[in-house]
Chains A and B, each alone.
Chain A
């Protein structure tokens, strides 16, 4: 290579990498919310699910408990007071922080403004109003009831309401609002469980649930607020809620990934140094991977505006194959004495390997699964760049390598491996076993796929959750004691406007009542509980008598009862005023405590010229979601859906898997075609694709043998196994009966497979399900790919010898 050409190559790579560095460090945002990794959503339910995951009220709800750990109950009251004071202080400072939309540490204070509104609209809000409500008989019954009520010890207080509301409409209105409220013990208006000596708070973060950084800040704020106002050592803080799960999961993955990548990185550096005995060589082995990563990150962030954290993590995993390229180059350079010559020599094999692997990775690019297509673009770019760097930049940087012989390079070892592989008996046994295992695997794969997918494939996303079980337990405990609605399921209603949504919610009411009566639901919270639709209010209004006729009926009803008719003027006035009221709307409740509640239950969206509204019905104490789903389904109200977040998420995963599998089938066919064209030999192509397929099957079987179900992370790992397998098989097949060539290839493949195996075995030891899944699959895939590649190569040799 001429000096000028090498300078040109170096400077153009330098410029490209500098640009990539600039883009990565100045202009790249890493996204962390899982929702943006998900597909755009095929059906309505998935879209709603994503919206709910991102913006749902439950996703940003923090549950907080302050408890006293002291054993001494002798001074129980003063302990309690300490906690109560603490609860007040924390609630106040959290409110003052401006980070929360609401902070509750007790039942919402009785809101006089709201009571006043409800009282004025009582005859429009009372669900029991029907055409007989103001008949003589009903009125008489009501008056008799009231007479009994007067024997109460509290008649001094209740009598003023009696004369304005003898039919107790107001009581029914407030009762129906309280149904959904928790039945938590309160002391001085603060939620406090005296048995557990624990005060409880609920705080709703301003940040969307999907904004994990925002939620983490909220978490830190809660903790620091507690530390600041902590007035006794014996008090402790317990925090839970969906946002905590998100934060905890991310932190755990982040910590473990960091630990593992440091360990893996150190191992690679040391291992490569042992092999090559040269710092420069070690740097050269790292350069393609690093350069590929940089350029891929820069490109994805340019194309998509940002890069997702999951893309980055999986992408780095998939690019693991790129570490093999410089190893091949450097090993060959020892023989050729020049990197440039070595590059020219290995390029045809390497190129075929890169193209076929790229096809495998590229399967992910054209999908509406946003994160998956990002991952495809990322790994594709990284792979090609790493190969190009190996081909052009490395020879331009370093002319030749000093040659050292290491343990791994000994001719004895490579000869031994090749001899082992050539033992016909061993070959036959291993081959038979492997084929049997693969056949078994294949058949059970097909069988399970169609008949018992549950056992074989895990699409329960909870099984993948890195959140410690103890946290989940704590959440369940706090949630049940606070009576906070479920986070996993809800009913969602879409409509043209608020009125439309409210009407649908009203239609749904009998269904929910049935579910409550059947015992698998304990309560609901919906906007229609607070605010009946205009139509409903108007129909109630039409049933109200005018003042005159009501007065006459009341006289009749009072006949023989000790009540003085004149006392009930306020009742006549009240009904009469309701006759001319405009139905209550959301606007009428502005400034009351109900406004905030309604806001969380109803939303109106403007897309271009289209305005639509949606509402959610929150569910508490749901024990049988299938039964409720069936009931809601049978009610057959348009645009009303029961959403189980868990099963919907699982469905997403299922779809992801299906998509991957169907693509893999196509891609396998294309790869085979490319191989045939590249190698110009069907027999050799089969010798390459055969071990790859077997390795992939083996890698898929190992987790199953370990009793794990396959999930999408195993699938992504299988892509890497495909890449590695192609690399091994192609290089082994490139041997043409020259002893030194065989030695070099053997050694470089041993180095490659040892390094990949160790790094992924480390991952396999991780307790985090995702990392473990990737580790187990790839580590076993590496071993399988190595062994099968040799076996196929050996059988080929045997055939040649026989001939």
Chain B
């Protein structure tokens, strides 16, 4: 039994070592992907989202558009089931619903800020900022890639288990949020409407 656990430990160490070297090899790929992302100044994409939640008997689906204006403005317009617009920048979130609008100060909401950063930094190709909040696992290459983000902050980890982004080239195709209680948000993005800047 003792030898078995030693072998297990060795195996694990070996695996980690392999992963580590692979990571180093891939680091170059991640950086070049981020550079590619950074070259796009403005994009608008259509999205469809499905939420599976503990408090819901059936998944909740919604759709709308996502707009990104470099370096730090994100606009999420929900078209269905009802129209709501979220304008997110580095300082605040403005929620517009019909005539009403509400402003949340991100200074007061550090968790939300870190969470928003997962998407914004990805689009901006800002690897430093991404690494400030998350441990990053990268697989594939810049043409066909998958990134998994694990929150380093304990408080954020209490809400969010991990974030998964995958895509091809400079476009993100799928964004999955896995909450710590197992709730899943799957957001599928439909590029093609992307506006490529210089």
Contact = CB atoms under 8 A, between A and B. Distances in A.
Interface of A: 107, 110, 147-148, 150-157, 159, 162-163, 186-189, 562-564, 567-568
B51 A564 contact: no
B159 A148 contact: no
B81 A151 contact: yes
B56 interface: yes
Interface in B18-47: none
A31 to B, nearest CB: 46
Contacts of B115: 154, 156-157
Contact of A150 (B54, B60, B116): B60
B74 to A, nearest CB: 9
A692 to B, nearest CB: 70
Interface in B33-88: 49, 51, 53-58, 60, 62, 76, 78, 81-82, 84, 86, 88
Contacts of A186: 105, 107
Interface in B93-109: 93, 95, 105, 107-108
A155 B185 contact: yes
A153 B76 contact: yes
B49 A567 contact: no
B174 interface: no
Contacts of B86: 152-153
A563 B54 CA distance: 9
A562 B159 CA distance: 22
Contact of B57 (A159, A564, A568): A564
A162 B111 CA distance: 18
Contacts of B93: 154
A152 B111 CA distance: 15
B60 A157 contact: no
B55 A163 contact: yes
Given A148-B84, A150-B60, A189-B107, A156 B54 contact: no
Given A156-B159, A157-B115, 15 more contacts: A147-B60, A148-B82, A148-B84, A150-B51, A150-B53, A151-B62, A151-B84, A153-B88, A154-B115, A157-B112, A162-B55, A163-B55, A562-B56, A562-B58, A564-B56
A199 to B, nearest CB: 15
Interface in B128-185: 159-160, 177, 179, 183, 185
A188 B107 contact: yes
Nearest to A558: B57
Nearest to B86: A153
A152 B84 contact: yes
Contacts of B62: 151
B53 A159 contact: yes
A153 B159 CA distance: 13
Contacts of B55: 159, 162-163, 563-564, 567-568
A55 B88 CA distance: 44
A718 B107 CA distance: 62
A186 B105 CA distance: 9
B108 A110 contact: yes
Interface of B: 49, 51, 53-58, 60, 62, 76, 78, 81-82, 84, 86, 88, 93, 95, 105, 107-108, 111-112, 115-116, 159-160, 177, 179, 183, 185
Contacts of B57: 562-564
B54 to A, nearest CB: 7
A150 B51 CA distance: 9
B107 A154 contact: no
Contacts of B76: 153
A186 B93 CA distance: 14
B97 to A, nearest CB: 8
A107 B161 CA distance: 31
Contact of B54 (A110, A187, A567): A567
A567 B54 CA distance: 8
Contacts of B105: 186
Given A151-B62, A564-B56, A159 B112 contact: no
A189 B106 CA distance: 10
Given A151-B84, A564-B54, A157 B111 contact: yes
Contacts of B60: 147, 150-151, 562
Contacts of A564: 54-57
A530 B180 CA distance: 35
A155 B56 CA distance: 13
A767 to B, nearest CB: 46
A626 to B, nearest CB: 33
6 contacts: A148-B84, A153-B86, A155-B185, A156-B160, A157-B115, A157-B159
Nearest to B56: A562
The CB with the most chain A CB atoms within 10 A, among B53, B115, B159, B177, is that of B53
A156 B107 contact: no
Contacts of B84: 148, 151-152
A156 B82 CA distance: 19
Given A150-B51, A151-B62, A154-B112, A159 B81 contact: no
B78 A151 contact: yes
A156 B159 CA distance: 6
Nearest to B59: A562
The CB with the most chain B CB atoms within 10 A, among A152, A153, A186, is that of A153
A156 B54 CA distance: 11
A171 to B, nearest CB: 9
B180 to A, nearest CB: 9
Contacts of B82: 148, 151
Contacts of A563: 55-57
Nearest to B61: A151
Nearest to A189: B107
Nearest to A157: B159
A567 B93 CA distance: 28
The CB with the most chain A CB atoms within 10 A, among B58, B107, B112, B115, is that of B107
Contacts of B179: 156
Contacts of A157: 111-112, 115, 159
Contacts of A187: 107
A785 to B, nearest CB: 69
A82 to B, nearest CB: 19
The CB with the most chain A CB atoms within 10 A, among B56, B78, B81, B108, is that of B56
A153 to B, nearest CB: 6
Contacts of A148: 81-82, 84
The CB with the most chain A CB atoms within 10 A, among B49, B82, B111, B177, is that of B82
B56 A156 contact: no
Nearest to A171: B102
Nearest to B63: A151
B73 to A, nearest CB: 14
Given A147-B81, A563-B57, A564-B54, A159 B183 contact: yes
A163 B56 CA distance: 11
Contacts of A567: 54-55
Contacts of B58: 562
Nearest to A109: B108
A150 B84 CA distance: 11
Contacts of B49: 151
7 shortest interchain CB distances as A-B pairs: A567-B55, A151-B62, A562-B58, A562-B56, A148-B82, A156-B179, A151-B78
A155 B54 CA distance: 12
Contacts of B88: 153
Nearest to A162: B55
Contacts of B81: 147-148, 151
A520 to B, nearest CB: 24
A155 B78 CA distance: 14
A170 to B, nearest CB: 14
Nearest to A106: B107
Contacts of B160: 156
Contact of A156 (B78, B108, B177): B177
Contacts of A189: 107
A146 to B, nearest CB: 10
A563 B183 CA distance: 14
A138 to B, nearest CB: 19
A550 B122 CA distance: 46
Contacts of B53: 150, 155, 159
A187 B49 CA distance: 33
